[in-house]
Chains A and B, each alone.
Chain A
């Protein structure tokens, strides 16, 4: 039972354009959401998070949007850079409990 889903295994975007990574979840009780970025041969790195009481959080080029009614989370990267090429995982938690991760989306930013 996959409670956190990333339905797009890969995404290719031109440098300078917007990258939009999507994530859907099934448990409406999740109260905290995070995005992690993972380069090959490295562990995931925390990118940005959002509490369920908010609908948007911004940090530089990265913005996370939360649509609770649709149980949908998205990460926007503007402008995209070649160094953003990585696998992006969304994760959700309930009451500060364990994180449940999606399967990841591989983002490739080309020149």
Chain B
């Protein structure tokens, strides 16, 4: 158990809809990262928040947005969903602002299926 929790575990929705994925980092971790893993793909970095502020951005679509709240939990919002958005979405957390030798701890993921 990494200490990172993600809800829901599974999500099935239709094209055009909007969903929200939730992540609670490990106790004391200030950074939250979001990743997408599509079929046969590696983990693609989407976005990082550190202590409520956006810290780094990866290949995140404009239809996607995220935020980190004062209690440090984070939400990833996916809108105007397309079939290609079906994937595993992972959240990870780390203690510091960047890597600097600190590994990221991953949650179990949310499997999103868009039909």
Contacts and interface: CB of A to CB of B under 8 A. Distances in A.
19 contacts: A32-B99, A34-B103, A36-B106, A42-B108, A42-B109, A43-B106, A44-B43, A45-B106, A46-B105, A89-B43, A91-B43, A96-B99, A99-B43, A99-B45, A99-B99, A101-B35, A101-B42, A101-B43, A104-B42
A65 to B, nearest CB: 19
Interface residues of A, number: 26
A102 B44 CA distance: 9
B98 A96 contact: yes
B90 interface: yes
Interface string B24-42: 0000000001010000111
B104 A46 contact: yes
A4 B42 contact: yes
Interface of A: 4, 6, 32, 34, 36, 41-46, 49, 51, 89, 91, 93, 95-104
A43 B107 contact: yes
A100 B103 contact: no
A101 B104 CA distance: 13
Contacts of B42: 4, 6, 89, 101-104
Contacts of A95: 98
Contact of B106 (A44, A49, A96, A104): A44
Interface string B84-112: 00000010100001111101111111000
